[in-house]
A and B are shown apart, each in its own frame.
Chain A
Amino acid sequence: MDYATLIEVLGSTLRLGTPLLLACLAGLYSERAGIFDIGLEGKMLMAAMASGAVAAMTGSAWLGLGAGIVASLIFALIHGLASITFRGNQLISGVALNFVASGATVLISQTLFHQGGRTPPLTGDARFQAITLPGAEALASVPYFGPFYAKVISGHSLLVYIALAAVPLTWWLLYRTRFGLRLRAVGENPESVDTAGVSVIGLRYTAVMLTGVLCGIAGAYMATSLQAGFGREMTAGRGYIALAALIFAKWRPWYALGATMLFGFLQAIALRPDVIEGTLHMKIPVSALDALPYILTVIVLAGFVGRAIPPRAGGQPYVKER
């Protein structure tokens, strides 16, 4: 693999890693607060559909983003209702909402556009366009760093940079603010929060809503930035991969960046069979490449690479003891 190819692969690593990163941070807020969310996938899918549809109708990527966030928030609210208010099974709620999303997205986009469940292709302002960072052109001729800056760091849509900025922001929120302290406490021992006179329910709903916002951005990015429109099942298991990345990242923001970019890299090279063949000097079936990110997810979950203790109160509804 020569340097130019590497630059290309790294560039698409960042593009493909971005939805994973947003979803992974989304999951981080939920799970740190003690709520499992298998439904990242469904929220992303809803957001992708809503943003694709609204962007297609209004021609504005920003309105699309807003619609994506709202759609994702509605699903987050239902998940909160089931798992916080009614203390239901969080796994089942997430799985159920994923099915609802699968059905609802096609149902709505088919009704609106009659294009087999797709939205019309987005062009111009209906998409978030790539941003060229200052100095990218001037530096392009500098050996090694120039192309890296111009094609890996620069040249992505705004949402990519928002996702990257969300990493330090999440870290700061989690470890430097009152909200973060309480959020981490409620995922470890909700009783400690309750007896301190802070609402467990309020904190958990806030966390679930934050999850909704981030999944919304992730879905909107898929439909208005990574691709030009919504297509059925376009998230293709990214919500689940993000959960695996979250475990791999030990529920920490900076590790999440690393883990999701690793998965992004795998997806990027899976798209380049020519590179793999050139590097390994053998033919790999396309379906094996397709399966690669999922296989890696299983290996990560098997804990052969790094193991961590999840938030202790994860997955359990909070009931005051009798």
Chain B
Amino acid sequence: MTETTDAGRQATAALSGAAAPAIELRGISKAFGPVQANKDISIRVMPGTIHGIIGENGAGKSTLMSILYGFYRADAGEILINGRPTIIHDSQAAIRAGIGMVFQHFKLVQNFTVLENVILGAEDGALLRPSLAKARKTLAHLAEEYELDVDPDAVIEELSVGHQQRVEILKALYRHADILILDEPTGVLTPDEADHLFRILRGLKEQGKTIILITHKLREIMEITDSVSVMRRGEMVATVKTAETSPEELAELMVGRKVLMHVPKAPANPGDTVLKLENLRVTDAEGVDRLKGVSLTIRAGEILGIAGVAGNGQSELLEVLGGFGAGKVTGRMEVQGQEVVLAGHGATGQTRRARGIAHVPEDRHHLGLILDFSAWENVAFGYHGAKDYQASGLFMDNAAIIRDTEGKMERFDVRPPNPHLPAQSFSGGNQQKIVLAREIERNPVLLLVGQPTRGVDIGAIEFIHRRIVELRDAGAAVLLVSVELDEIMSLSDRIAVMFDGQIMGERLPAETNERELGLLMAGVAQTKGAAE
């Protein structure tokens, strides 16, 4: 493999006269208002290599790549492509410069076919027919060359996520991209699909393409990259050869200090069964089965973690349990031995809260908070009918809510501790603390919590994890949904793995490993301990 890489390098070197980097960034800076997203960033990526860029959420990785793809203009700095200074003021310029981008959220037209998506913007003439015919041929070639086979006539919305990603890669290759940027490409893939992707990337590298891989997963960096740059808070803190570093070193560079991988927690002391779920099935409005007979139990003082790749029914599970499931729902739900209406009349967020079920939703921006509302209005959100928030007669007791918010902000260390600020002016971690304070301070018997630390800074992650464990120790049952396997492993007392709307199996954290869970997440059923 090293030989072909060297060959590719030599070829490029022969063209440009010297071994110019495929991409060189010099002193790139970009600010959004007062937030400095990128600070004086310089990197060099040699042709025919895979270069990783790793960093926490919000470290500035995506901003940097958006500048390279012409989505944003840098405030300062210079971009050189194959040694030539290049001004990239829009996507068209980036495409001309040979840059292709695979975004984290695919930019595909859902009701178009694969072919239509591939030619969009790269048509050969005013009429579609010739372009489509040409694209069909090219796609057949590419499919053979790089294991990139997709049915050219399939409609995007009917394709799996992995296939949709291949369409994005095909789009870039169809536009003759020599430099391919992939932003968090494995976040939505099963380990199996991710392996396939890596095979494709290696194939591309062998053909002399340059690849930039943006990720926050250390494993991927170690597995596939040749060199890696670490970003932290908008700055490039190091660039190293992958072979000469270790995951521990990278983690430390990313965070700026030693990471606490394990939450200190005592062994669970489970009590009576709190949640009992039998054969839960959900069919959505389009007739797709989202949950296919989920059964599980959680006892008091226990955290059940649900692992799985995003989109395998976890969101639907939380929504139904939280009282706002959509579509056709069947099955049986019991809380503390009493049946709870699953869906339809009598199943609302209000009735759930009345039964002691609290919910920290996966998406705090679209579900958990009203961003335009002030912090105190958000503290009342969902509990706006609570007795302690009502004044006499018809009115709400706003003063009482504000007082309560002040207390919560102090106990949860929300900064700035001003209840009148709109929710959108708080950082992700502080927003999540507001949601968490609201949901756990009423001593729920069951806490539903989805992606508790998504988009949350390191300091707040520890705080949030500790609070969840404290709630467990106080005797609550906790259902934890997370796509971060680390989080599931370190917090859960039991782990259930979801795939395609089903529980593939349950494991104890001490008796399993990432490899076994990964197989379950990919839908590979094991002989022992299938769903109870």
Residues of A within 8 A of B (CB): 175-182, 184-185, 188-189, 191-198, 312, 320, 322
Q: Which of B117, B121, B125 contacts A197 (CB 8 A)?
A: B121
* Residue B14 lies at the interface, judged by CB distance under 8 Å to chain A: no
> Measured between C-beta atoms, what is the minimum distance from B173 to chain A in Å?
14
A179 proximity list for chain B (CB < 8 A):
126
Q: A178-B128, A196-B91, A197-B95 are in contact. List 17 more A-B contacts (CB 8 A).
A: A178-B123, A178-B131, A180-B128, A181-B123, A181-B128, A184-B109, A185-B109, A188-B109, A188-B110, A189-B107, A191-B107, A195-B101, A195-B107, A196-B107, A196-B122, A312-B110, A322-B32
Question: Is the CB–CB distance between B111 and A182 below 8 Å?
Answer: no
* Residue B261 lies at the interface, judged by CB distance under 8 Å to chain A: no
Q: What's the Cα separation between A320 and B112 when bound, in Å?
A: 22
> Measured between C-beta atoms, what is the minimum distance from A122 to chain B in Å?
39
A194 proximity list for chain B (CB < 8 A):
91, 107
A322 proximity list for chain B (CB < 8 A):
32
* Residue B513 lies at the interface, judged by CB distance under 8 Å to chain A: no
Residue of B nearest to A320 (CB): B71
Question: Is the CB–CB distance between A192 and B126 below 8 Å?
Answer: no
Given contacts A178-B131, A189-B110, contact A196 B32 (CB under 8 A): no
Residue of B nearest to A175 (CB): B128
Q: Which of A177, A182, A184, A320 contacts B121 (CB 8 A)?
A: A182
A189 proximity list for chain B (CB < 8 A):
107-110
* Residue B90 lies at the interface, judged by CB distance under 8 Å to chain A: yes
| Residue picked from B91, B117, B120, most chain A C-beta under 10 Å | B120
Q: What's the Cα separation between A184 and B119 when bound, in Å?
A: 14
Q: What's the Cα separation between A184 and B107 when bound, in Å?
A: 14
B32 proximity list for chain A (CB < 8 A):
322
| Residue picked from A184, A191, A196, A198, most chain B C-beta under 10 Å | A196
Residue of B nearest to A309 (CB): B111
A-B contact list, 19 entries, CB within 8 Å: A176-B127, A176-B129, A178-B125, A178-B131, A181-B119, A181-B123, A182-B121, A185-B112, A188-B109, A189-B107, A189-B108, A192-B109, A192-B117, A194-B107, A195-B69, A195-B107, A197-B93, A198-B92, A312-B110
A177 proximity list for chain B (CB < 8 A):
126-128
Residue of A nearest to B35 (CB): A322
Residue of A nearest to B131 (CB): A178
* Residue B116 lies at the interface, judged by CB distance under 8 Å to chain A: yes
> Measured between C-beta atoms, what is the minimum distance from A70 to chain B in Å?
27
Residue of B nearest to A180 (CB): B128
B111 proximity list for chain A (CB < 8 A):
188
A188 proximity list for chain B (CB < 8 A):
109-112
B125 proximity list for chain A (CB < 8 A):
178
* Residue B324 lies at the interface, judged by CB distance under 8 Å to chain A: no
> Measured between C-beta atoms, what is the minimum distance from B57 to chain A in Å?
14
Residue of B nearest to A189 (CB): B109
Number of A-B contacts (CB under 8 A): 71
Question: Is the CB–CB distance between A176 and B109 below 8 Å?
Answer: no
A320 proximity list for chain B (CB < 8 A):
71-72
Given contacts A181-B116, A322-B32, contact A193 B121 (CB under 8 A): yes
User: Which positions 153-175 of chain B face chain A at CB distance < 8 Å?
Assistant: 171
B69 proximity list for chain A (CB < 8 A):
195
B412 proximity list for chain A (CB < 8 A):
none
Q: What's the Cα separation between A198 and B69 when bound, in Å?
A: 14
Question: Is the CB–CB distance between B121 and A198 below 8 Å?
Answer: yes
Question: Is the CB–CB distance between A192 and B120 below 8 Å?
Answer: yes
Q: What's the Cα separation between A196 and B125 when bound, in Å?
A: 16
B71 proximity list for chain A (CB < 8 A):
320
> Measured between C-beta atoms, what is the minimum distance from A238 to chain B in Å?
30
Given contacts A176-B129, A178-B123, A188-B112, contact A197 B107 (CB under 8 A): no
B94 proximity list for chain A (CB < 8 A):
197
> Measured between C-beta atoms, what is the minimum distance from A320 to chain B in Å?
6
Q: What's the Cα separation between A96 and B176 when bound, in Å?
A: 47
Question: Is the CB–CB distance between A195 and B103 below 8 Å?
Answer: yes
Q: What's the Cα separation between A312 and B71 when bound, in Å?
A: 22
> Measured between C-beta atoms, what is the minimum distance from B122 to chain A in Å?
7
Residue of A nearest to B72 (CB): A320
B120 proximity list for chain A (CB < 8 A):
181-182, 185, 192-193, 196, 198
Given contacts A178-B123, A181-B123, A197-B92, contact A192 B129 (CB under 8 A): no
> Measured between C-beta atoms, what is the minimum distance from B89 to chain A in Å?
11
Which 3 pairs between the two chains have the least Cβ-Cβ distance?
A196-B121, A197-B92, A197-B91
| Residue picked from B91, B109, B111, B171, most chain A C-beta under 10 Å | B109
Question: Is the CB–CB distance between A178 and B112 below 8 Å?
Answer: no
Question: Is the CB–CB distance between B108 and A192 below 8 Å?
Answer: yes
Residue of B nearest to A196 (CB): B121
B129 proximity list for chain A (CB < 8 A):
176
A181 proximity list for chain B (CB < 8 A):
116, 119-120, 123, 128
Q: What's the Cα separation between A157 and B224 when bound, in Å?
A: 70
> Measured between C-beta atoms, what is the minimum distance from B522 to chain A in Å?
29
Q: What's the Cα separation between A49 and B123 when bound, in Å?
A: 42
A191 proximity list for chain B (CB < 8 A):
107
Residue of B nearest to A311 (CB): B111
Residue of A nearest to B71 (CB): A320
B101 proximity list for chain A (CB < 8 A):
195
Q: What's the Cα separation between A192 and B32 when bound, in Å?
A: 24
Q: What's the Cα separation between A185 and B117 when bound, in Å?
A: 9
> Measured between C-beta atoms, what is the minimum distance from A168 to chain B in Å?
16
> Measured between C-beta atoms, what is the minimum distance from B317 to chain A in Å?
26
Q: What's the Cα separation between A184 and B127 when bound, in Å?
A: 15
Question: Is the CB–CB distance between B126 and A178 below 8 Å?
Answer: yes
A312 proximity list for chain B (CB < 8 A):
110
Cβ contacts B92-104/A at 8 Å (1 or 0 each):
1111000001010
A182 proximity list for chain B (CB < 8 A):
120-121
B109 proximity list for chain A (CB < 8 A):
184-185, 188-189, 192
> Measured between C-beta atoms, what is the minimum distance from A190 to chain B in Å?
9
B93 proximity list for chain A (CB < 8 A):
197
A197 proximity list for chain B (CB < 8 A):
90-95, 121
A198 proximity list for chain B (CB < 8 A):
92, 120-121
> Measured between C-beta atoms, what is the minimum distance from B158 to chain A in Å?
15
Q: What's the Cα separation between A191 and B104 when bound, in Å?
A: 13
> Measured between C-beta atoms, what is the minimum distance from A223 to chain B in Å?
35
Q: What's the Cα separation between A270 and B116 when bound, in Å?
A: 45
Q: What's the Cα separation between A194 and B90 when bound, in Å?
A: 9
> Measured between C-beta atoms, what is the minimum distance from B60 to chain A in Å?
12
B112 proximity list for chain A (CB < 8 A):
184-185, 188
Residue of A nearest to B37 (CB): A322
Q: What's the Cα separation between A177 and B125 when bound, in Å?
A: 9
A196 proximity list for chain B (CB < 8 A):
91, 95, 107, 120-122, 171
Cβ contacts B126-143/A at 8 Å (1 or 0 each):
111101000000000000
